[in-house]
């Protein structure tokens, strides 16, 4: 297995620049997820790593070797796509063996590799079946098997689960994490689903408009988003963002007048803001509690999930606010709901969407 370095990768299609100066150092055996909204450049970046697309500028180094000019087959990578094409007339065995047949591998070696992949993917008793006799998840596993038998240095996945239904996606998430552990492999996985990113990644690359917004562990991104974009993208339900005006600045932080009339003193670095500036206060739905803390929410819709209650409503008339509370929280749709939040749990974003660093940020969980 291998490290993977992207050095100042730029990509333009004609006049349209879609990737801007992307540099990433990916460790051996890491599970890296590229996440971001549609069109942000995830697939293009993955295809450049694979050699299916040429970068306009920059270099790719796999296992210490510059492969920027190498064709895909010589890069030691293997890619699994969203729409995996299995050969319908071939058995599962032959579908998995296909890349090895092309390589004209010796029979005993080929068989050993197919059996190992089948065993890892729990397909041993399906080897003689045809793809149409398999479930969607099993078919996706065959496509992954085809990539395992090639013993690649780096596995690349482009939204491999998005054709599956929600329950199966959840199962496959767990299976892919297990596969990563079993293979001890470097993996790069593209998705626009932040839950897949949070649950599977060692580190996440958040892409926005062809730029890297932030690169860090899931819990770093959750606790220390550097921008409003990352803050709103990571975490479910999404972080609440309440417009506010700075009414005081001192050594302990800033005092804000929030929409809805509530004032708070927030312990953030205040060097870049002045009294009168507009900011946004970010509050995660799971960080509020019921109590007379000044957040006055008009609740429109309640979702009782059993273990949790999600309350959707507004603050200050028209700013949306969502709270994730205990399953049996005593709340009524249409009735006012008073909430509180600890100042240390709040994030503050300036007018350009950059976070004001918190003075007492919570400890990171590795």
Ligand X SMILES: Nc1ncnc2c1ncn2[C@@H]1O[C@H](COP(=O)(O)OP(=O)(O)OP(=O)(O)O)[C@@H](O)[C@H]1O
Choose, by CB under 6 A, the member of 22, 24, 43, 149 that binds ligand X. Answer: 43
- Contact region for ligand X (CB under 6 A) — 31-39, 168-176, 323-331, 354-362? 31-39
Burial 101-115 (b: 16+ CB within 10 A, else e): eeeebeeeebeebbb
Least distance (Å) between residue 42 CB and Mg ion: 5
Nearer to ligand X, 44 or 324 (CB): 44
Choose, by CB under 5 A, the member of 43, 186, 240, 309 that binds Mg ion. Answer: 43
Least distance (Å) between residue 255 CB and ligand X: 40
What's the rounded Cα separation, in Å, for the pair 325 and 285? 8
Q: Which of 246, 237, 213 lies closest to 227, judged by CA?
A: 213
Q: Under rule CB under 6 A, which residues in 85-114 are in contact with ligand X?
A: none
What's the rounded Cα separation, in Å, for the pair 243 and 281? 6
| C-alpha dihedral sign at 128, 132, 134, 140 | positive
Contact call for residues 184 and 1 (beta carbons, < 8 A): yes
Q: How crowded is the C-beta side of 163, counted as CA atoms within 13 Å?
A: 15
Nearer to Mg ion, 51 or 225 (CB): 51
Nearer to Mg ion, 41 or 225 (CB): 41
Contact call for residues 77 and 50 (beta carbons, < 8 A): yes
Least distance (Å) between residue 159 CB and ligand X: 7
Least distance (Å) between residue 65 CB and Mg ion: 27
Structure token digits, residue 281: 């206060």
Size of residue set near ligand X by CB under 6 A: 11
Least distance (Å) between residue 203 CB and ligand X: 18
Is residue 153 within the footprint of ligand X (CB under 6 A)?
Answer: no
Q: Which of 65, 70, 26 lies closest to 50, judged by CA?
A: 70
Nearer to Mg ion, 55 or 256 (CB): 55
Is residue 33 within the footprint of ligand X (CB under 6 A)?
Answer: no
How many C-beta neighbours within 10 Å does residue 132 have?
Answer: 8
Nearer to ligand X, 43 or 324 (CB): 43
- Contact region for Mg ion (CB under 5 A) — 39-47, 97-105, 339-347, 352-360? 39-47
Helix (H, G, I), strand (E, B) or coil at 58: strand
Structure token digits, residue 32: 């890296």
Is residue 41 within the footprint of ligand X (CB under 6 A)?
Answer: yes
Choose, by CB under 6 A, the member of 42, 113, 139, 347 that binds ligand X. Answer: 42
Applying CB under 5 A, the residues found at the interface with Mg ion are: 43
């Amino acid at each position: 297995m291998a490290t993977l370095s992207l050095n100042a990768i730029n990509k333009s299609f004609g006049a349209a620049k879609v990737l801007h100066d992307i540099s990433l150092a990916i460790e051996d055996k890491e599970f890296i997820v590229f996440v971001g909204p549609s069109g942000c450049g995830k697939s293009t970046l993955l295809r450049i790593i694979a050699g299916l697309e040429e970068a306009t500028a920059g270099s790719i180094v796999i296992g210490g070797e510059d492969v920027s000019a190498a064709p895909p087959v010589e890069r030691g990578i293997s890619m699994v796509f969203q729409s995996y094409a299995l050969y319908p007339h071939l058995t599962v065995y032959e579908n998995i063996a296909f890349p090895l047949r092309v390589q004209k591998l010796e029979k005993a070696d080929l068989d050993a590799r197919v059996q190992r992949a089948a065993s890892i993917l729990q397909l041993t008793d399906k080897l003689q079946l045809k793809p149409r006799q398999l479930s969607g998840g099993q078919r996706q596993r065959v496509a992954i098997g085809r990539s395992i038998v090639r013993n690649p240095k780096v596995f690349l996945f482009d939204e491999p689960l998005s054709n599956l239904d929600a329950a199966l996606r959840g199962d496959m998430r767990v299976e892919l994490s297990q596969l990563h552990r079993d293979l001890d492999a470097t993996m790069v996985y593209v998705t626009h689903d932040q839950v897949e990113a949070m649950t599977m990644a060692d580190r996440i690359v958040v892409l926005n408009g062809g730029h890297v917004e932030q690169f860090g562990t899931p819990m770093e991104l959750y606790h220390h988003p550097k921008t409003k974009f990352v803050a709103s993208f990571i975490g479910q339900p999404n972080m609440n963002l309440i417009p506010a005006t700075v009414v005081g600045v001192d050594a302990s932080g800033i005092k804000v007048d929030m929409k809805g009339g509530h004032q708070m003193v927030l312990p953030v670095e205040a060097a870049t803001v002045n009294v009168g500036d507009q900011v946004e206060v970010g509050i995660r739905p799971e960080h509020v509690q019921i109590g007379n803390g000044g957040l006055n929410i008009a609740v429109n819709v309640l979702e009782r999930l059993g273990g949790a209650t999600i309350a959707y409503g507004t603050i200050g008339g028209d700013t949306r606010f969502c709270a994730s509370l205990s399953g049996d929280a005593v709340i009524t749709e249409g009735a006012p709901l008073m909430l509180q939040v600890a100042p240390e749990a709040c994030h503050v974003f300036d007018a350009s969407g950059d976070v004001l660093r918190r003075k007492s940020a919570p400890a990171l969980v590795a």
